[in-house]
Chains A and B, each alone.
Chain A
C-alpha cells in the first residue's frame, strides 16, 4: 500500500503538510470573504443574533437571575462563540469530500487535510470573533480573572475534539448520504445538551448521575474552561478532566475511522 513519493528534498513531510494545510485554510477564508461585502460581519452575525434572542428571552421575559452568571450576555457568548466554531466545522465536514472532489481526484494531498483545513478556518473565524466578546465584557463591566489562561487549554481541547469528530463524519457521509441530515439533528440536540444557555453547574442541581453523564460530553468541559476567564466558579475540573480524555479518544477514533475508510472513499468520489 505504500506510495512513498519522495518530495523535493527541501520539504519534510511535516513541512509539506503544514504548507498545504495553510494554503487550503487561506483559500477557504479568502473565498468566503472575497465574495461577500460584509465578510467578517457574517461570521459573527449568527452567534450575535442567537445571543440577542436568548438574552432577551431569559433575562427580559423569564427574569433569569442565577448568582454568578451575570452579566448573562457575556456568560452566554463565552460558550456560544466556540459552539459556532464546533457547529460550523462539523456541518462543513459533512461536505469535505464532495466539495473538494475534483482536487482530490487530481492532486495527491494527505487526505486528513480536507477536514483539518475546515477546522482551522472555522477556528480562525472563532478567534477573530473574540473582540465581540471583549466589547460586551467592557460594556457590561464583567471582570476578567487570571483563569483566562485556561482559554488556551480550551482552544487546544476543542481543536482536538473537533478534528476527531470531523474525521469520523467526513468519510462516513460519503457512503451514507442521509448521515448529513442526521448530523444536523445531532448538532441541534447537542446545542441544548451542552452548557451554552446554562452553566455546567446546572447539571449538579438536577442530580449527581446527570452531572456524571454530562461530563462525558466533552463540550461541557471545554465550555467550562472558556467560562473560567470571567466566571471562575464555572471551572468544574471533574467535567474538564473527563472532557479532555473524551476529546483525545474522539481524535484517536477519528484517525482510525479515517485511515480505514480512506481507500474506499477515494474510489467513491
Chain B
C-alpha cells in the first residue's frame, strides 16, 4: 500500500449544531442515539461532504461567513467529532487554529514553548533541538523567562506561530490566524508556510483573501450552506465563488 501519511479522506461527513445555544437540553438527549431525528432547533453546519486529499496537496477552503469552513477545519483537526460519516486523517496535524490557546499566562515563555510543543506530541529532546530556531523565529530572545502574560499580543501570536509551525507534522491547518501581527511578520509566516509546502506538507487553508489563496493553494473547496458545491482547481473555484456572490 502506498504511503498515505499526509492524506485526508472525508466521506459523507456531517455535523449539526444547535441554533440557539441557550435553549435547554435534557439528559435524555445526551444519551439518545446519534442517528436520532434532527430537532427543530438544530441545523446541519456541514452535510454530505466528501473529498480526498493526497499527501502534499494544498487546499484552499472558500465560502462566505458561516458556511462551514472553520467547522470543516476543526473536523480535520479532530477537535470536534462528526455526527455522520467519517473523517480520516493520516498523520499528525499542526493546527494553526486559535494558536495561543494552549499557552498559560503564569508560566514563562520557555515553559510555554515546551508545554505546547509537548502537548502536540513532541519529545523533550526534539523540542530542545528546535528551541533556538523557534525563539529566533518569534524574535523573543530577550523575553524567555518573562511570564507569557507580560508579552504584547503581537509577541504572543509570534511565539505561538513559531512553535506550531515547527511541529514537523505532515498536515498543516491554517485558519485566518495570519490576520494578526504586523506586515513584516505576516510575510515571514507566509514564507514559512511556503517552505513547509515545498517540504511536501499537506496544507488546508481557510481564508477570505483571494491573493493568499492563489499564492498557496492549487485546489479549492467551495462550501455553501454546509454543502460542498465545487471541488476544483483554485482559479475555477474562486471564479465561481465570485460569480455567485457578485464580486468582480
* B89 CB contact (under 8 Å) in A3, A102, A268: A3
The stretch of A5-13, A212-220, A221-229 that contacts the partner chain: A5-13
Evaluate contact between A267 and B17: CB separation under 8 angstroms.
Answer: yes
Chain A interface main SS type: helix
Question: CA–CA, A24 to B107, complex, Å?
Answer: 13
* A5 CB contact (under 8 Å) in B82, B83, B93: B93
Question: CA–CA, A6 to B79, complex, Å?
Answer: 15
Question: CA–CA, A7 to B78, complex, Å?
Answer: 13
* B79 CB contact (under 8 Å) in A1, A16, A266: A266
Evaluate contact between A266 and B81: CB separation under 8 angstroms.
Answer: yes
Number of interface residues of B (CB under 8 A): 43
Question: CA–CA, A27 to B111, complex, Å?
Answer: 9
Evaluate contact between B80 and A10: CB separation under 8 angstroms.
Answer: no
Evaluate contact between B102 and A106: CB separation under 8 angstroms.
Answer: yes
Tell me the minimal C-beta distance from B221 to chain A in angstroms. 19
Evaluate contact between B97 and A106: CB separation under 8 angstroms.
Answer: yes
Evaluate contact between B98 and A262: CB separation under 8 angstroms.
Answer: no
B179 is an interface residue with CB less than 8 A from chain A: no
B56 is an interface residue with CB less than 8 A from chain A: no
Question: CA–CA, A155 to B211, complex, Å?
Answer: 59
What A residues does B83 contact at CB under 8 A?
Answer: 263
Evaluate contact between B102 and A103: CB separation under 8 angstroms.
Answer: yes
Tell me the minimal C-beta distance from B126 to chain A in angstroms. 9
* A107 CB contact (under 8 Å) in B80, B90, B106, B120: B120
B30 is an interface residue with CB less than 8 A from chain A: yes
Evaluate contact between A27 and B5: CB separation under 8 angstroms.
Answer: no
What A residues does B118 contact at CB under 8 A?
Answer: 19-20, 23
What A residues does B30 contact at CB under 8 A?
Answer: 175, 260-261, 264
* Residues 93-111 (chain A) with a chain B CB within 8 angstroms: 102-109
Question: CA–CA, A212 to B173, complex, Å?
Answer: 57
The verdict on A27 contacting B115 (CB below 8 Å), with A2-B88, A108-B79 known, is yes
Question: CA–CA, A32 to B132, complex, Å?
Answer: 28
The verdict on A23 contacting B107 (CB below 8 Å), with A105-B98, A108-B93 known, is no
Evaluate contact between B111 and A263: CB separation under 8 angstroms.
Answer: no
* Residues 115-131 (chain B) with a chain A CB within 8 angstroms: 115, 118-121, 123
Evaluate contact between B92 and A34: CB separation under 8 angstroms.
Answer: no
Tell me the minimal C-beta distance from A221 to chain B in angstroms. 29
23 contacts between A and B (CB under 8 A): A1-B82, A4-B89, A4-B90, A6-B90, A6-B91, A11-B121, A19-B121, A23-B118, A30-B107, A31-B106, A34-B107, A102-B98, A105-B79, A106-B95, A106-B97, A106-B98, A108-B93, A260-B30, A262-B81, A263-B81, A263-B83, A267-B15, A268-B21
Closest 6 CB pairs of A and B: A102-B101, A108-B78, A106-B98, A106-B101, A103-B102, A266-B80
Binding site for A on B (CB under 8 A): 5, 15, 17-18, 21, 25, 29-31, 34, 74, 77-83, 86-93, 95, 97-102, 104, 106-107, 111, 115, 118-121, 123
